[in-house]
Structure 1
Amino acid sequence: MKIGYYAIFNYEEYDRNEEQYGIGIEFPDIPECISCARTEQEALFMAKEVLEFITANMKVNELPKMSELNEIELKYNEKAFYISYNTEDIDLSTFTCY
């Protein structure tokens, strides 16, 4: 089954530890799905990884409805990216929870 949602990349996330800006990643439809990255390429990878991690064990009826792109309000420093994966391609043994 293919699972996909829009991720919002915020390009003004400031990391106080490293004293530099990065990209904050969030999924409006799945609030617990958040991550961050330094580059857009890394952000695309991290967004897919966190989406897989959070949704891989969800039952179909537990998955939230995906918002349409025109329903997502973006700020001047944000972009929306459609992130998806195929559940058959996931090896759940690679995920470790503590």
Structure 2
Amino acid sequence: MKIGYYAIFNYDDYDINEEKYGIAIEFPDIPECISCARSEEESFLMAKEVLEFITSQMKVYELPKMSDLSEITLKDNEKAFYITYNTEDIDQSEFTFYDV
């Protein structure tokens, strides 16, 4: 099954000239799905990884409906990217799940 949601990359703490690197990553539809990275390239990897981890713990009926891009309001220094993965490509042995 293909899973996909929009991620918001916030560049407030990113300045290549001052060697300040920090891109905050969040998914508006999944509040607990957050991460950060030092570069845009790393941001895509981290966004996919956190999306895979959080949604792999959810049942299909628990997955929230994806917002339309037109419903997402971006602030200055933010960009939206569509992040996807195929559940069949996930090696679940890499994750440790705990019942809470």
Superposition TM-score, scaled by structure 1 size:
0.89
Deviation at 1:60? 1.1
- The two structures, once aligned, show a CA RMSD in angstroms of 1.6
Contact 2:8 2:81 in 1 (8 A): yes
Q: Structure 1: any 5+ residue segments left out of the alignment?
A: none
Contact 1:12 1:21 in 2 (8 A): no
Q: Which runs of 4+ in 1 moved over 4 A?
A: none
Counterpart in the other structure of 1:68: 68
SS in 1 for 2:57: coil
Mapped to 2, the partners of 1:35 and 1:13 lie a distance apart of 14
Counterpart in the other structure of 1:56: 56
Q: Structure 2: any 5+ residue segments left out of the alignment?
A: none
Percent identical among aligned pairs is: 79
State the AA in 1 paired with 2:39.
T
Mapped to 2, the partners of 1:29 and 1:13 lie a distance apart of 23
Q: Which one is further off, 41-50 or 20-29?
A: 20-29
Deviation digits for residues 40-90 of structure 1, max 9, x if unmatched?
000000000000000012111100000000000001110000000000000
SS in 2 for 1:48: helix
Counterpart in the other structure of 2:40: 40
Mapped to 2, the partners of 1:39 and 1:10 lie a distance apart of 11
Mapped to 2, the partners of 1:7 and 1:86 lie a distance apart of 16
State the AA in 2 paired with 1:22.
G
**1:10 correspondence with 2:7:** no
Superposition TM-score, scaled by structure 2 size:
0.88
